[in-house]
Chains A and B, each alone.
Chain A
């Protein structure tokens, strides 16, 4: 079939003989002829049949394909890439422990190794086949032959390529005729311009430009900053319908998205009344629990009033706050209440050397910044605040005054838990065991300031000096 090209004024190429086409009307004749061509020593020639012919490979002397080797190599490459990738990702670049499995373990690798081996082997087979067959081929000069159209129907052909070393115009033609074909014809190269049509060039250029645009856009966006939120092409989990703790909502009658504990329930692991001394530092819980913890007070207030009331209350807060009327008297009353509580005087857990060491470590982490390593109220934060003459700063009390020394351990524990004056509550940060450990260490610090150096032996002094 001749292609129609619109530019006859372009250079007309000199037609060249590309080869011969011999036509046979049955497959047996083709196979017999193929054997003769093969034996004659031709290399560049082919047969064309409407259906696969058994034995044509042998008759043409075609060597066994190397495709299996390509497939095997691609498969092995896939397996190697899969193993390497998983080792690099899981065990080297971003070690991430999943359910206690080894970072790099063969059983976990097998599915990926299998998949990638199969994938690359399939690619190898598909593209290898195309490559070995020199496909895709958009055009072949043979297609111009009218007779050749029957190659897909009921005719069998041998084509001899002029590029073959043994090819000669006269001898090969004679040789082909000796094979008893029904017809022999020549096929020639195109005489039209070998140039591509202009429209095709234009179309390809437009496609090329369009294809560059997305990566260019991506590159631009990646290298610039913007105030607007990013474009969510795939929203993933960016927008979720889930409730957020601090928002308001119409879903619940109290207007809060966070769900407070249901009245009369205790969250798992939060039941503390089974060990009052350990959790509160008290021998038993007094009737009036307001003084025990600030947290308890807050909880009671929150439960008493719904959110709408609370909002309203917050607006006129200054007017209704009873404590604001006489802060000094209220503070004194609270302090008096605290003094009268039944504080424990013994540690509610066994005292060990390990606990002491733990207490020392925790003390140095949480307390020493303000209270100082020795508990004299000369921590680095305090020193700096004094240095800057900060008016609001209250110097922490020294542990080594009579007042503090007399406090029962339960009271010290309470102070750590709920704070006092400017000191914040450390209860939420430090678990009860550690708070008791700190109290123990604090007691030890107080004791260390009381002792007379003359009453301890030389060995103990040395030991103290060596201890850090």
Chain B
């Protein structure tokens, strides 16, 4: 593998620091909404349930984006993709979001360790004592093992994210093509580790909210949701950064087009996984499985379910067909924001119907949505601040990647 000698000189190193202090200030300002959400929850009816579940939803919404980014980075290395080099550093930054999220998820684990059953019914020995199924699942679903698994999951993700970012940054300095080969070789086993940790994390943190229900495809569902979230986030970031003069030359309409294509493809993938999960449960009609969708048809959740079917799949499907839409930064930006909101609703729909008070599911209400939105913006502030912090003075592009020239010249045929 050869590095083009003049690549090093042609590229000017740009960093996210060029955006000035404003983004960081805005992000930290948003973070204030997290305590606001907590106070809102404190004063409203069933507020603690609402806040606990919305906190879980918010963290796992952003976690899905970061995990999507991690997957993207690894799959680009695995397939030796050339076109995506200019986007890869940004994806590596986004994948570093697992570090602030590890801290943010920690309270959930600690509360569960203390035996609190607001979120996870199986965490409380009293609930397990009069529930045969929970007893049967107890060897896996118990707070001690749960905490250990939390360490394994986040440990693996932080390790992977740091590995791929650090090796890539190291290449900026020495231009050693061996580093690319190393990343390619490591990405295969890394993806295996990623697949297992993500699947079981989705089982543990979201599916076990309703410990009676189970779906083996659930991990893939969360993964699909995460990729939609990530590509939306990537498209939004790219368009935003280009408008601020960053990456303007290297990232062309061709790259935006491909990000749009991937967003479209993974949105279809999400729909495919969603219908796969639904269809089997619908067909076999077994009570312990259908309870999941039954929850999501009552107490106003039916409307959210329909919004997902139509808003998350049918409407964007039509608009994403157009080549023009994907090549126009403004329309791409609009639909990326739209799908990010839909992805948020998707995680909302996964988590919130499990919130219950006195054996009754909480219905969708303005209060609940308000708490959720505040909580998400709050967590998002911390998340983005963390991303900006990790990006720091690092170049937004792997400036001495051996395939950079291929990426700069990238052109859809």
Contacts and interface: CB of A to CB of B under 8 A. Distances in A.
Interface of A: 52, 54-55, 64, 68, 72, 99-101, 107-108, 110-111, 114
B323 A99 contact: no
A54 to B, nearest CB: 5
B278 interface: yes
A68 B261 CA distance: 14
Contact of A52 (B282, B321, B323, B413): B413
Interface residues of B, number: 12
B282 A68 contact: no
Contact of A107 (B272, B279, B321): B279
B215 to A, nearest CB: 16
A55 B321 CA distance: 24
B323 A111 contact: no
B337 to A, nearest CB: 25
A114 B269 CA distance: 12
B127 interface: no
Given A52-B413, A54-B411, A108 B321 contact: no
A72 B321 contact: yes
B283 A108 contact: yes
Nearest to B281: A107
Nearest to B285: A99
B147 to A, nearest CB: 39
A110 B277 CA distance: 13
15 contacts: A54-B411, A54-B413, A55-B411, A64-B323, A68-B323, A72-B321, A99-B285, A100-B285, A101-B283, A107-B278, A107-B282, A107-B283, A110-B275, A111-B279, A114-B272
A111 B280 CA distance: 11
Given A64-B323, A107-B279, 10 more contacts: A52-B413, A54-B409, A72-B321, A99-B283, A99-B285, A100-B285, A107-B283, A108-B283, A110-B279, A114-B272
A354 B411 CA distance: 83
B159 to A, nearest CB: 38
Nearest to A98: B283
Interface in B248-299: 272, 275, 278-279, 282-283, 285
A212 B323 CA distance: 46
Contacts of A111: 279
Contacts of B278: 107
Contacts of B272: 114
A340 to B, nearest CB: 56
Contacts of B321: 68, 72
Contacts of B285: 99-100
Interface string B304-324: 000000000000000001010
Contacts of A107: 275, 278-279, 282-283
Contacts of A55: 411
A293 B327 CA distance: 88
Contacts of A68: 321, 323
Contacts of B279: 107-108, 110-111
Nearest to B268: A114
Contacts of B323: 64, 68
Contacts of A64: 323
For the complex of A and B, list the 8 residue pairs with the smallest distance between their C-beta atoms, beginning with the closest.
A54-B411, A107-B282, A110-B275, A52-B413, A107-B279, A72-B321, A110-B279, A107-B278
A107 B282 CA distance: 8
A96 to B, nearest CB: 15
Nearest to B276: A111
Contacts of A72: 321
B313 to A, nearest CB: 11
Interface string B389-413: 0000000000000000000010101
Nearest to A107: B282
Nearest to B412: A54
Contacts of A54: 409, 411, 413
Nearest to B409: A54
Contacts of B283: 99, 101, 107-108
Contacts of B411: 54-55
B245 to A, nearest CB: 26
A101 B281 CA distance: 13
A122 to B, nearest CB: 15
A111 B323 CA distance: 27
Interface string B232-260: 00000000000000000000000000000
A47 to B, nearest CB: 15
